[in-house]
Amino acid sequence: MIALDVGGTSMKGAVVDRAVRPLTTADGPTPRHQGPGGVVDAITRLLRHLEREALRLGRQPVAAGVVVPGIVDEPAQRAVASVNLGWRDLPLGSVLTDAMGLPVRIGHDVRAGGLAEGRLGAARGVDDALFVAIGTGISAAQLVEGRALRAGGYAGELGHLAVASAAAQCACGRSGCLEAVASARAIASAYTLRSGREVEGAEEVGALVARGDPVACGVWERAVEALAEAFAACAALLAPEVIVVGGGLSRAGALLLEPLRIALDLRLSCQRRPGLRQSALGTRAGCLGAGLLGWKAADASPQAGGTGGGP
């Protein structure tokens, strides 16, 4: 089985067995500057590379699962819209199926990551959970009694919840969005703007926070407060048992989760108080979720924790 997670910055792919265990992996950049057509071409190239890798391992791929950001209509297999990738109403499932000559099922990257965390990771055994991926953008997946809430593909756009009266403009065109304050890209941009020193990403800002850099600490605190505001709204409306934090920013671990836990607790009163957990699958959650979708496309059931089988 071929699995591919297409992010706003990079793509993460793997060949997985029936237990959704990676047999080999391959990553690549997402050339969003080349426009929607260039991104689709890059997806196809990486899928073909993974197909060759599977054959090299003596495995015959039976299908592929591909997950993408934005609004995705899973029943229609259409990528409806993506702010980060620029496409609109793209029949991506059929385009990739035709290009590959094998069944390709598309899904939403964060909903797939949430399903993977619920099946294999930090939310395993939890009926009601919220998975929040914080990377180039911010999105969420709500698991309700073990099933991802889709709402026609529009559910989970947590990054566009208004949490700040004054913030940099979001990619969606509005200002004040959570994504414009607390995404990895926003954190790096805010530090560069305030300090006059360019950083490569939020991970570098986190390292500066650990060393007590006052500008970095201010940017980090602002992001934490914004996330806590959004999580409190989710706790009031959705009442998850746990909130799993994933995406690239989750690699900060306690540096992010401990102040976030305190800030969230201060905002809750009579609501259910969700446990806050770091993703167990890390930045591979979406890719593993794509593997789950791929097995669905092949009309086969992955056996998490089983002995495995061919891809």
Chain centroid to Cα 97, Å, comes to: 23
In the predicted model, is pLDDT for residue 278 greater than 60?
Answer: yes
Question: What's residue 166's pLDDT?
Answer: 63
Residue 153 CA to residue 139 CA, distance in Å, equals 12
Which residues, listed in sequence order, are joined to residue 27 by a DSSP beta bridge? Answer: 12
At how many degrees (to 10) do helices 202-210 and 214-238 cross? 110
Per residue in 38-95, pLDDT (tens digit) is 999 999 999 999 999 999 999 999 999 999 988 999 899 999 988 778 889 999 999 9
pLDDT by residue (tens digit) across 105-127? Answer: 999 999 999 999 999 999 999 99
Contact call for residues 129 and 311 (beta carbons, < 8 A): no
Q: For position 110, what pLDDT does the model report?
A: 92
Name the average pLDDT for the chain: 90
Q: Which pairing describes strands 88-90 and 242-246: parallel, antiparallel, or unpaired?
A: unpaired
- Among 229, 230, 231, smallest CA distance to 273 is for 231
Cα dihedral 189, 191, 194, 197 sign: negative
Each residue's pLDDT tens digit, 204-244: 999 999 999 999 999 999 999 999 999 999 999 999 999 99
- Domains, the chain, in order of start with CATH, read 2-113+284-297 (3.30.420.40), 125-279 (3.30.420.40)
Judged against a pLDDT cut of 70, whether residue 31 lies above it is answered with yes
% of the chain at pLDDT higher than 90: 74
- What's the rounded mean pLDDT across residues 267-288? 93
Q: Running DSSP on this structure, what letter comes out for residue 169?
A: B
DSSP 205-273: HHHHHHTT-HHHHHHHHHHHHHHHHHHHHHHHHH--SEEEEESGGGGGTHHHHHHHHHHHHHH-SSS--
Q: How confident is the model at residue 179 (pLDDT cuts 50, 70, 90)?
A: very high
3-state secondary structure of 32: helix
Closest by CA to 61, choosing from 49, 77, 69, 72, is 49
How far is residue 92's CA from residue 8's CA, in Å, rounded to a whole number? Answer: 16
